[in-house]
Structure 1
Amino acid sequence: MIPFELARPRSLTEAIALLDPEDPDIRPMGGGTAVMLMMKAGVLRPTRLVSLRDVEPEYAQVGIGNNGELQIGGLTRLATLEHSPLVKEGWPLLARTLRTLSNVRVRNVATIGGNLAHADPHMDMPPVLSSLGARVTIQGPNGERTVPVEQLCTGYYETVLARDELISRVIVPPQAGRPAAYMKVTTRASHDWPALGVAVVLDMQGAAIRQASVIVGAATDRPTRLTEAEALLRGAEPSDEKTLRHAGEAGAAQLDIVGDSHGTASYKKQLLKVYLGRAVRTALAAVNSRGTAFEGHA
């Protein structure tokens, strides 16, 4: 391994100053799970790693804002979110998803900001947070800006973040009892990388779907909103199997699905046709048991 500098700043401002917008070999490091794997694989040979473990503790806290939004510090551990009473009570979709994300060892060290910044298209949190309308606060040398999570990823391992910017906070609007489900289809263990992930959040009007937020992950180079499927679901009743089937077919037709080691493009397309409708039904069924649904491996 090539020697590198390990910097341990005490503040987020100091950490940002240690980054270089022109140097891809200087990297920030939260939990370090992805960075260490990339270094072991030889795809990352940093000259400097900027550890974020010693910055202000406010960036590792979870709270509720004045308008009821969930405020998550960018350095909050995934395990902290998983066990947070606030998250369990108000955002069951997040709580349920986190329990099946990677494994306990990773969740104990990985941070939410690092998870989103890594931009692996197979990750579970980006589609789930996107379906909830979450946004991130990004801090850099010129101040702060806010970006919807849905717009954060731009391609494989690529985001709108500049090299000298960090995710300081994740803000999630209230789930407010809306039916929601994340259907994660894996070929092995439930915590494995998904062949397909479908996140659904519904706004109901009586027995009908007033609005639907449908985001798919692991099928393309970034989490993608299925606008055609959302349009078909608008005004539909979940008991209408024909509409659910058409929504799944429309979602599959909308995407240029990419095959990988977790499944061929045709396999993922078929999964989407089936699991979109299943996600809608499971979201509504979960309301009766006061929870959020998750589907394991298929």
Structure 2
Amino acid sequence: MSDLPAHIDETIELLAAADYVADRSLATVLFLALRMGRPLFLEGEAGVGKTELAKVLSKALDRPLIRLQCYEGLDLSSAVYEWNHAAQMIEIRLREAAGDATSEALRADIFSERFLIRRPVLQALEGEAGRAPVLLIDELDRTDEAFEAFLLEVLSDHQVSIPEFGTIRAQDPPIVVITTNRTREIHDALKRRCLYHWVDYPSAERELAIVRLKAPGASDDLSREIVSYVQKLRAADLFKSPGVAETIDWATALTELDAIALDPSLISDTLGVLLKYQDDIARIEKGEGREILNAVKRELAVG
């Protein structure tokens, strides 16, 4: 497709133009997924930018974004298609009243396109030719193995088989991005159909670039302190380390408080922006947070 990046550097530039700071390894696997027409399987901790990548890709390529948010119990009727049973029953009653309820034409009519309700997967397969959408299958690990098995047909053949209707194939396959937070393992059969990338927490340099981009109101000194603090915090034995999204939120919150530098009181008052579990907050407030802050001040003073 002519609108796809021609090389890895162009992929990095494409994402940067949409305010996404990607490292070269992620840009490389994304470039290959786009050029090879393969789904991109992104695995990593929550808040590291997996979902955001699909959103940014949609914006950068000017393609519609169709999002399937996964959850426990997700089935075909919510993810792919279902029949409009109420409208079908009305049609049957009308045919009965007209004495035409037993004809083959009735069955063909009630299982026609006008009674078919398209859910995200089917919408993505029927996307506009030449402008196929970005299909985001978000947090696949929340579903069960039965739903994974269904996705094999979609990912391999870009089609959906509907028993009463037939097979619907994509003229122009969607760009598929699958994310998982690894709360459970995804079956190898599905992974083999994708290009895989583990999205890790960013380096300090890249996270600082992200904070500067997403929270421009924070001073450079404060941004450096925030990033250094979060980077050291992730090395602590917490129940849930803060992701990049939390770093951005914290920088924004501190900016709203007109902060110019971190101090113990300010950190204590705003830890709920950065950490989401009380045990983690209590641990940091008991003294470990002060030790981290002292280390940050020493490091930046030397640097």
Higher helix share: 2
Which structure is higher in RCO with an 8 Å CA cutoff and minimum separation 6? 2
Alignment TM-score, normalising by the size of structure 1: 0.30
Structure showing greater Rg: 2
